[in-house]
Structure 1
Amino acid sequence: MTRNVPLGLPTVGQEELDAIAEVFASGWLSGAGPSCLAFEREFAAVAGVENVLSTSNCGSALHLAQTVLGAGPGDEVIVGDYTFPATGHSVMWTGAKPVFVDVRPDIWSIDPAKVEAAITPRTVGIIAVDVFGQPADYDELRSIADRHGLWLIEDGACSAGATYKGRQAGSLADLTAFSFHGRKGITAGEGGALTGADADVIAHARKLHTYGIAPAISREGSATLPVPSFDELGYNYRMSDIQAAIMRVQVRRLPDLLANRQRVADGYAERLGDLDQITLPVALSDRTHPWQSYVITVDPDLDRGAVALALRERGVGCNFGTYASHLQPLYGEQRPLPVSADLFNRHIAIPMYAGLADDDVAYVSDVVRDVVSSSSVRR
């Protein structure tokens, strides 16, 4: 019997609904309110830093990070190429130019060995992407950044709960941007966060995320009538208190969510590890992989599109991995980046979410095995 196993599903329920009801009762539904402040305090423990700013999404967090670090027109920012284009877009929002660099063939994050060759007198910083959640090589990247006087940003869109050499994602770079989109490990449907060790930098970002003034909650209970003035261009990058209430529950769920995603990853590894037609994702021993996605690499002799269609015909949700950003027309002429381009053409994401039952893992594995072994998907 054909099942329907979606690519991803959030783990939400009555606790999140109850949290939303509390916000409704409070009367403060808009952004940067008491629920946002509470979420920031609680997420700090996940990120391993004291300073957290809730944002509307990860793209806004990336834009704020580069803005407060000083990126602007005429600058260049080095970016790991294999990533959803929000990373490159955020560079362009500052007026700077993204310079894409090829990635490691095993864990798909920016290759430190390729970074120095891309540095020019215009380079101001590096954005490393934790591809599908597994942290990049931050010790090597920090050494390069310090040697050249550059800042370092972690695009941790998928990384909540990940670690690198015992340190938490969110504390591995000057600033880190997180996403709470519906397919992430913890989610409010949308939303994001910016984290960092420097309280003054996060305070500046907080000002900019509310049009360039302090959030309204900072004026609550004043004995006077404070009227803020605008002396710096800002944005509306606030998370709503409704989203923050959901996120507070999601943070409490995080250990169980991570454990269940690891269970699913282990199940796939056990059932698919012997196949010659695909390569399974690598999880390095010195870092904790949060498994935002589970992405397989199909053999070059297989038609990736035919594989995907065959999986979907049997009820297995799937999609391509992510983008080789340098191939997107928006970014203009870019140098060839063969590793990222090859991954872009051969990756398939298969179902991964915390609620995936063991018998569904078995079903997906059986279907993948049948499909990639079929002569009908060979080129």
Structure 2
Amino acid sequence: MSDVIALGQPTVGEAELAAIAEVFASGWLAGSGPTSRRFEERFAATVGTRHALATSNCGSALHLALLTLGVKPGDEVIVGDYTFPATGHSVMWTGARPVFTDVRPDTWTVDPAAVEAAITPRTVGIVAVDVFGQPADYDELRVIADRHGLFLVEDAACSAGAAYKGRPAGSLADIATFSFHGRKGITAGEGGAYVTDREDLSSHARKLLSYGVESALNRAELSHLAIPAFTDLGYNYRLSDVAAAIMISQLDRLPDLLATKRAIAARYGELLKGHELITLPYEAPDREHPWQSYVVTLDARVDRGAVAMELRQRGVQCTFGTYASHLQPLYGQADRCPVSADLFVRHLAIPMHANLTEAQVETVAATLVDVVGSFAAR
């Protein structure tokens, strides 16, 4: 259907094509090259950290974060439950056990009280998730982490451009990780970033990023022929310079993209407010939400699956929110996270991207109200 309103859509064009052409002309297309270095410098400045590494995706950045923080088999890492399973997977990749903890019913980010209750002698750290881009309660989480000698990681997959008490997402924990997947606020189709203020963590991560040795670019800048020795088990987690070029252009667009999506979120709020069967997403007053997704909560009496199928039939793309991770069979976690489990079955994501027109926003809202009302009346 040509008139389908897309759930998510990247904003790319001539600027990105020109950036790619420059990389092609340079002859360096591989990862960790000069364009990646320029992007890392720009991204670190954007998120307010001293160091940034461009990675193949957010999952690889999370894996590097946990490895450089020393997570090992037998450890436990507390993870906010309401998240895409890449967060829990990254813990399992180290041989440690993710311990999923429940979330706040308003912001959907991890509940600090649940974190405190989940700490055991095996706990080594906390991974907080900025759900749909809204930052978690980092001041409270930092107090808990410091009191128990734990690390704190920010899974900022969705939160480029967000802020918490005036501080940018990415600067709120020991390490933060970002995603540049196609549905994220800024995107190269795929990609990610690892950011930190700590030189020791950054240096270790940069080595693990590229099979455990210095990058070819660093070796090429030496005054002698460097033959690297492999002393660490590293990975191929580099972002190509082609993708890095796209990301530099996306950083140029970021302020406008954020302003547009905030205006769209405000308009949705105006059009959907007051509906007894639809609860709007909440933005905490001390945070700036980047609106990577716009997710409403349907009343428990409404058949979400039926609503979603009817919306799609009418040309409005939609999907569920994200996962109550503890319910996934892979993890085998018996403890319940009731708030997260409830959100998992009631959340509905509707179109949110910077290319939406005013008419499309109005159509989405009107169609949602009509469909929800019709199903509730049955």
Give 1:223 deviation, angstroms.
3.0
**Aligned mates of 1:378, 1:55 — CA distance in 2:** 49
User: Is the 1:61–1:193 contact (alpha carbons within 8 Å) kept by the matching residues of 2?
Assistant: yes
Q: 1:147 to 1:11 in 2, by over 3 A?
A: same
Corresponding residue of 1:216: 216
Alignment correspondent of 1:160: 160
CA shift, 1:372, in A, is: 0.9
Q: Distance in 2 between matches of 1:148 and 1:378?
A: 52
Q: Give the corresponding residue for 2:327.
A: 327
Shift of 1:51: 0.6
C-alpha separation in 1, matches of 2:118 and 2:246: 41
Q: Equivalent residue for 2:261?
A: 261
Distance 2:194 2:211 in 1: 17
* 1:187-226 mapped onto 2 (5 Å cutoff): 187-226=187-226
In 2, Cα distance between the equivalents of 1:292 and 1:311? 20
Q: CA deviation at 1:46?
A: 1.6
Distance in 1 (CA, whole Å) between partners of 2:124 and 2:258 is 35
Aligned to 1:19: 19
**Secondary structure in 2 aligned to 1:117?**
helix
- 1:224/1:128 CA distance change after superposition, 3 Å: same
Q: Is the CA contact 1:308–1:319 (under 8 Å) kept in the aligned structure 2?
A: yes
CA distance in 2, matches of 1:212, 1:338: 42
**1:207-240 Cα deviation digits (max 9, x unpaired):** 0000111111001143321101011111000000
Shift of residue 333, structure 1, vs aligned partner:
3.0
C-alpha distance in 1 between matches for 2:104 and 2:330:
24
Deviations 1:123-145 (A, max 9, x none): 00000000000000000000000
Residue identity in the other structure for 1:104: R
AA aligned opposite 2:16: E
In 1, the alpha carbon distance for the partners of 2:334 and 2:323 equals 14
Correspondence for 2:43: 43
Name the CA distance, whole Å, in 2 between partners of 1:281 and 1:292: 12
CA–CA distance in 2 between the matches of 1:334 and 1:157? 27
Mapped to 2, the partners of 1:245 and 1:195 lie a distance apart of 18
The 1:227/1:333 distance shift into structure 2, 3 A limit, reads same
* Counterparts of 1:180 and 1:377, CA distance in 2: 38
Q: 2:341 corresponds to which residue?
A: 341
For residues 153 and 100 of structure 1, what CA distance do their matches in structure 2 show?
14
Q: Deviations over 1:84-131 (max 9, x none)?
A: 000000000000000000000001010001111100000000000000
Distance in 1 (alpha carbons) for counterparts of 2:226 and 2:304 = 60
Q: Which residue of 1 aligns with 2:147?
A: 147
SS of the counterpart of 1:373?
A: helix
Shift of 1:39: 0.2
Q: CA deviation at 1:202?
A: 0.7
- Give a deviation string over 1:31-63, Cα, whole Å, max 9, x none: 000000000011112211121011000000000
Q: Could you tell me how far apart the structure 2 residues matched to 1:108 and 1:45 are?
A: 28
**Counterpart check, 1:59 vs 2:22:** no
Q: What is the RMSD of the two structures over their aligned residues, measured on CA atoms?
A: 1.2
**Cα shift at 1:267:** 0.8
In 2: Cα distance, 1:188 partner to 1:106 partner: 31
Task: State the partner residue of 2:102.
Answer: 102
* Residue aligned with 1:355, SS: coil
In the other structure, the counterpart of 1:135 is: 135
In 2, Cα distance between the equivalents of 1:200 and 1:249? 29
Partner in structure 2 of residue 88 of structure 1: 88
SS of residue matched to 1:336: coil
Q: Which moves more between the two structures, 17-26 or 45-54?
A: 45-54
Query: Match for residue 74 of structure 2?
Result: 74
Identify the residue that residue 372 of structure 1 maps to in structure 2.
Answer: 372
CA distance in 2, matches of 1:333, 1:176: 25
CA contact (8 A) 1:3 1:315 kept: yes
1:298 aligned partner: 298
Alignment partners' CA distance in 2, 1:118 and 1:316: 40
**Deviation readout 1:165-204 (Å, 9 max, x if unpaired):** 0001010000000000000000000000000110121111
Q: In structure 2, list runs of 5 or more residues that go unmatched.
A: none
TM-score by length of 2: 0.98
Which residue of structure 1 lines up, in the alignment, with residue 115 of structure 2? Answer: 115
Query: Residues 225 and 332 from structure 1, CA distance in 2 versus in 1: closer, same or farther, beyond 3 angstroms?
Result: same
Find the aligned partners of 2:3 and 2:301 in 1 and give their Cα distance.
28
Paired residue type of 2:54? S
Distance in 2 between the 1:100 and 1:333 partners? Answer: 8
Point out the more displaced range, 151-160 or 220-229.
Answer: 220-229
Q: Structure 1 residue 244 and structure 2 residue 244: aligned?
A: yes
Tell me the SS of whatever aligns to 1:330.
coil
| Structure 1 residue 378, shift from structure 2 partner | 5.8
**Is residue 362 from structure 1 mapped to residue 362 from structure 2 by the alignment?**
yes
User: Given the alignment of the two structures, is residue 317 of structure 1 paired with residue 317 of structure 2, yes or no?
Assistant: yes
How many residues get paired?
Answer: 378
Whether contact under 8 Å (1:36, 1:244) holds in the other structure is yes
